[in-house]
Chain A
Amino acid sequence: MNRPLAPLTDEERAIYEWQIWVRDFGEEGQQRLKNASVMISRCGGLGGVVAYELAAAGVGKLVLAHGGCARPSDLNRQLLVTYESLGRPRIETMTRRLLDLNPRLEIVAVGENVNEDNAARLVEQADVVVDCAPMFEERLAMNRQAVLQRKPLVECAMFDLEATITTVQPGNTPCLACWCPSVPPTWKRQFPVFGAVSGTVGCLGAMEAIKLIAGFGQPLFNRMLRLDLRDMTTQTVSLVRNPNCAVCGSLPRA
């Protein structure tokens, strides 16, 4: 991210004024967001909130991957999907909702979920990746490409009232495969979820991406934050690299 930064317009200064006041962020941080691109793997209950917060914060470009058509059971949590869009491709309503909020946003909209074939070209287009997919196959494909391309990856996930989030900096922190080398055999496509839980971890993931891009604060490197919204407890677990990791084990420190 060392290319020259396009300056803010007067309109952008007015829109982002209140966040430019944030300590250690400032106008330079805003310029970094404007000049950055973020790839979000699925924009449902979790990723939709990541995308909306990053669109609101003024990230210049979002690369979005989400397949399928909107279903009634999306509406309890997928805040970018609308009642009117039921039956239509989710990626269309997601794109429209984001542009309603921020028409300056550049969106690369891909109407398919991440897989081994498309992961490389999706990651190529982004400075930061936020992984919000509900299937470990997608997560592991995204992780592999983020490591190969040495792109920071925010791993956000939830189940029931529990949420976890950690940030991977390939070579310097464990990657997803260090502690989850293969698809957990009993994980199912459908899982219990309130939108308020997936949205909570979505907001945290968006903030991680903002910090990574603007270069301030301490991202969740080598740490996993776990939240249990059932009893309102939090835990920070230390994570270590697996020297035998098939994905990042041979990667030297950056």
Chain B
Amino acid sequence: MRILVNGEPKTVRPNVTVADLLVELKVSPQHVAVEINRQLIPRRLHGETRLAEGDQMEVVTLVGGG
């Protein structure tokens, strides 16, 4: 299944959850905010939220250095 991650096309397993996809992307879930189709997905829902064909996912890394 094809989705967009931060604007880049990516092939992922059908109906993969946000939590599993973050593991595949090697991203720590505690350091990111995730949006799918312009809706923010709270961290507690990462495990039950599944991606669908054509979804647009944004992964925003939280950095705080100043």
Contacts and interface: CB of A to CB of B under 8 A. Distances in A.
A134 B65 CA distance: 4
A77 to B, nearest CB: 10
Given A184-B31, A186-B28, A186-B30, A158 B65 contact: yes
A198 B30 contact: no
Q: In the complex, which range does the number of interface residues on chain A fall in? A: 35 or more
Interface of A: 41-42, 44-47, 131-136, 139, 156-159, 162-164, 178-180, 184-187, 191, 193, 198, 224, 226, 235, 237-240, 242, 244
Given A44-B66, A132-B66, A191-B65, A238 B35 contact: yes
Given A179-B40, A180-B33, A186-B28, A158 B63 contact: yes
A157 B65 CA distance: 5
Contacts of B61: 162, 164, 226
Given A180-B33, A240-B40, A46 B65 contact: yes
B7 to A, nearest CB: 7
B63 A162 contact: yes
7 contacts: A44-B66, A158-B63, A179-B40, A180-B33, A184-B62, A237-B6, A240-B39
Bin the interface of chain B by size: 10 to 19
B26 interface: no
Contact of B65 (A179, A198, A235): A198
B60 interface: yes
A186 B65 contact: no
Contact of B64 (A157, A224, A235, A240): A157
Interface string B51-66: 0000000101111111
